[in-house]
Structure 1
Amino acid sequence: MEILLHEWLSVNGFILFTIGLLAAVIGVLFGAAGFILLPAMLLVGIPIHTTVAVNKFATGISALSNVLSFLIKGHLSLKKFTSLMMITSLGGVFGAFLATLLTEQVMNVVACISLIFAFFIVLCSHKFMGKDIKETQEQPMNKLIPFAISIYDGGFGPGSALMNITYYLKKQYIYIKAVELTRIITFSSCTGAFLFYYFTGFVNWGIAIPVSIGSIAGSFLGLKIIPYIKTKWIQILLPIIFFLLIVQVVFNLLI
């Protein structure tokens, strides 16, 4: 415990806290926490599977803090979304299992293909984000899409929340509601994936704790900013963030 405490209070601990903070803010606002978290952790020399495991823990804790906030404020009912949470938890477990069978190179190829596909979904979804839509126009959800995204989230992750946000915007949900539902799914898929990584020995607590504390702080900061985000900004920023994610993954494949 003393060794862990020394790690948490070191310069590296502060760097990891900052990474978690920035990643959570980006994740809450635009669903792209992995754009900051994964490459930053890889940059400081953390192995890919440990990086993904820590990402699932930090992002899951961050999402849990948001979900609890939504419940306290009466914005969401867990009873209504229990089946969705169970399905996406299983997706997270399955994704983590697949990731442990793959090499880092193969993981990056899968991520690249998934992100390119999602990038075109975002571009095609602009017509659904052209105005602020009332909740009364919400369309029924198809749980297969969140399940498929949760598999990708459990195995790798960058852009998964962004895929969910885009899906709910396409289903005519207002942006804040899309974010709230995405945080629920993120919590459940990350929980399932993390448990698998934990029991297979990929979790490093010296790294996970400072990143998670930063993620919690960043998630609340992101929620404070959301009301000031305008739809036209989302139309511009979502494709840009997705494009940067693709560039990042392609770069990892080439080096």
Structure 2
Amino acid sequence: MEILLQDWLSVKGFMLFTIGLLAAVIGVLFGAAGFILMPSMLLVGIPIHATVAVNKFATGISSLSNVISFVIKGHVSLKKYIPLILVSSLGGVSGAFLATRLSEQIMGIVACISLIFAFITVLFSNKLIVKDKKETQEQPINKLIPFAISIYDGGFGPGSALMNITYFLKKHYIYIKAVELARIISFSSCTGAFLFYYFTGIVNWGIAIPVAIGSIIGSFFGLKIIPYIQTKWLQVALPIIFFFLIVQVVSDLLK
């Protein structure tokens, strides 16, 4: 325990806390926490599988804090979304299982293909961003889409929440509602994936705790900022974020 405390209170621990905080803010607003978290942790010398495991723990904890807030405020009913939670949890476990059996190169290729597909969808769909006030009926959710995204999230992660937000926007959910549902799915998929990584002995608590604390604080900051986000900003920001995610993944593949 003393060794863990030394890790948490060190300069590296502060850096990990800051990484978690910034990643959570970006994750809540635009669903791209992995764009900050994954490369930043790799830059400080953390192995890829440990990075993914910590990412799932930190994102799961910060998403849980958001979900609790949504429920307390009466924004969402968990009972209504139990099937979606179960499907997403199963997807997260499946993704983690695949990640431990596929090479980093193959996982990078899968990530790149997924992000390119999502980027094209965002770029060329003229119905992607709906108004801040509901003007059309919310369309039924096809649970296979969140399941597939959760598989990707459990095994790799960057851009997965953004994919979920994009999907719900296309189903005519307002932006805040899309974010709320994306956080519920992130909590479910990350929890499933983290449990798999934990029982396979990949989790490093000296890294996971400071990142998770930063993520919790950052997630609340992000929720405070959301009401001030305008949809016209999203029309510009979402394609740009997807583009840089793709660049990141491609650059990792070419190393």
Residue 177 of structure 2 is aligned to residue 181 of structure 1: no
Residue 207 of structure 2 is aligned to residue 192 of structure 1: no
Do the aligned partners of 1:150 and 1:160 also contact (CA within 8 Å) in 2? yes
Per the alignment, residue 83 of structure 1 pairs with: 83
**TM-score, normalised relative to structure 1:** 0.98
TM-fit CA distance, 1:133: 4.5
Worse overlay, 6-15 or 118-127: 118-127
Worse overlay, 112-121 or 91-100: 112-121
**TM-score, normalised relative to structure 2:** 0.98
| 1:140 to 1:47, Cα distance in 2 relative to 1, 3 A | same
Per the alignment, residue 108 of structure 2 pairs with: 108
Do the aligned partners of 1:96 and 1:196 also contact (CA within 8 Å) in 2? yes
Q: Matches of residues 117-132 of structure 1 in structure 2 within 5 Å?
A: 117-129=117-129, 131-132=131-132
Q: Matches of residues 145-224 of structure 1 in structure 2 within 5 Å?
A: 145-224=145-224
**Structure 1 ranges of 4+ moved more than 2 A:** 124-128, 130-133
Query: Percent of counterpart pairs with the same letter?
Result: 81
Q: Which AA in structure 1 matches 2:55?
A: N
Do the aligned partners of 1:125 and 1:166 also contact (CA within 8 Å) in 2? no
| 1:78 to 1:98, Cα distance in 2 relative to 1, 3 A | same
Do the aligned partners of 1:135 and 1:174 also contact (CA within 8 Å) in 2? no
How many residue pairs align between the two structures? 255
Q: Which AA in structure 1 matches 2:76?
A: L
Worse overlay, 101-110 or 70-79: 101-110
Q: Which AA in structure 2 matches 1:148?
A: A
Do the aligned partners of 1:59 and 1:186 also contact (CA within 8 Å) in 2? yes
| CA root-mean-square deviation | 1.0
Per the alignment, residue 49 of structure 1 pairs with: 49
Do the aligned partners of 1:95 and 1:151 also contact (CA within 8 Å) in 2? yes
Do the aligned partners of 2:131 and 2:174 also contact (CA within 8 Å) in 1? no
Do the aligned partners of 2:17 and 2:214 also contact (CA within 8 Å) in 1? yes
Equivalents in 2 of 1:184, 1:48: separation in Å? Answer: 25
Do the aligned partners of 1:89 and 1:190 also contact (CA within 8 Å) in 2? yes
Equivalents in 1 of 2:128, 2:13: separation in Å? Answer: 42
TM-fit CA distance, 1:127: 2.4
Q: Which runs of 5+ in 2 are unaligned?
A: none
Do the aligned partners of 1:35 and 1:159 also contact (CA within 8 Å) in 2? yes
Q: Which AA in structure 2 matches 1:90?
A: L
Secondary structure of 1:196 counterpart = helix
Worse overlay, 210-219 or 105-114: 105-114
Per the alignment, residue 16 of structure 2 pairs with: 16
Residue 93 of structure 2 is aligned to residue 93 of structure 1: yes
